[in-house]
């Protein structure tokens, strides 16, 4: 089963932007620039998410097959050890928000816009997670994303996209020859039910990461090694 979610609500605010960006002080000029961009994004943005209900068909030592497509990752394999049904997905801020432009030489406005589009993407991902949890009565779910860990390289985006389907036609997201997604504020991965919440960040020792969702866990890293 494949489903596309298009009516995804989101709400941007100056306070939310300040918290997300980490700016300690917002001047009148910054406030005006950010609020102008918020107005543009609220008028144009149409975040989207597409997912497929898929099934694990085979489990090997360091890989699993989902709908017959081989995904190579020891950590993913271990996380799906007792799982039969999974939810490959792609979520995005949308091509509409991605078309909003600022002057090429205005690096600060570009940063504001980038941060706001990231917030739209986060709204889409949160909506998708909540939707899956309620619709399929999953209880607690976790996710993994290609490229978030060395054990599941970004090159596997191609395999993941092949499982989901016509992602570009359905959600406007395409892969580059370097396996990056356009719009850049897009994310792909697999949701799966789990008794204990898993975050890839728990296995990552990168000290300063603005996207960190959980602290490094040495015991967990040893378990997955």
Domains, the chain, in order of start with CATH, read 2-224 (3.40.109.40)
pLDDT digits (tens, 9 = 90+) for 31-58: 999 999 999 999 999 999 999 999 999 9
The angle formed by the CA atoms of residues 208, 212 and 218, to the nearest 5 degrees, is 85
Integer Cα distance of 69 and 75 in angstroms: 17
Return all residues near 214 (Cβ < 8 A) that are at least 6 apart: 199, 201, 202
**Does the structure show a pLDDT above 90 at 9?**
yes
Query: What's the sign of the alpha-carbon dihedral 98, 104, 109, 115?
Result: positive
pLDDT digits (tens, 9 = 90+) for 122-180: 999 999 999 999 999 998 999 999 998 888 999 999 999 999 999 999 999 999 999 99
Integer Cα distance of 210 and 212 in angstroms: 6
Query: What's the sign of the alpha-carbon dihedral 185, 190, 191, 197?
Result: negative
The angle formed by the CA atoms of residues 3, 196 and 64, to the nearest 5 degrees, is 55
How much is the pLDDT for 22? Answer: 87
- Long-range residue pairs from 59-66, CB within 8 A, at least 24 positions apart, any chain: 66/163, 66/190
Q: What is the mean pLDDT of the chain?
A: 92
Integer Cα distance of 154 and 168 in angstroms: 18
Q: pTM for this structure?
A: 0.89
Integer Cα distance of 60 and 205 in angstroms: 27
Strand partners, 149: 152
């Amino acid at each position: 089963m494949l489903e596309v979610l298009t009516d995804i609500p989101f709400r941007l605010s100056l306070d939310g932007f300040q918290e997300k960006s980490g700016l300690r002080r917002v001047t009148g000029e910054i406030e005006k620039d950010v609020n102008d961009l918020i107005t543009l994004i609220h008028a144009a943005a149409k975040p989207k998410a597409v997912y497929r209900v898929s099934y694990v068909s085979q489990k090997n030592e360091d890989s699993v097959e989902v709908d017959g497509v081989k995904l190579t990752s020891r950590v993913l394999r271990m996380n799906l050890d007792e799982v039969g049904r999974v939810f490959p997905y792609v979520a995005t801020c949308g091509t509409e928000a991605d078309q909003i432009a600022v002057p090429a030489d205005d690096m600060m406005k570009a940063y504001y816009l980038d941060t706001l589009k990231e917030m739209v993407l986060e709204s889409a991902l949160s909506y998708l997670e909540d939707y899956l949890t309620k619709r399929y009565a999953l209880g607690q779910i976790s996710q993994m994303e290609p490229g978030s860990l060395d054990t599941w390289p970004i090159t596997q985006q191609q395999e993941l996209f092949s499982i989901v389907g016509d992602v570009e036609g359905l959600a406007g997201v395409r892969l580059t020859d370097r396996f990056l997604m356009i719009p850049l504020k897009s994310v792909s991965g697999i949701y799966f039910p789990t008794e204990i919440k898993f975050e890839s960040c728990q296995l990552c020792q990168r000290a300063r990461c603005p996207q960190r969702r959980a602290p490094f866990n040495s015991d967990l890293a040893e378990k997955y090694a």
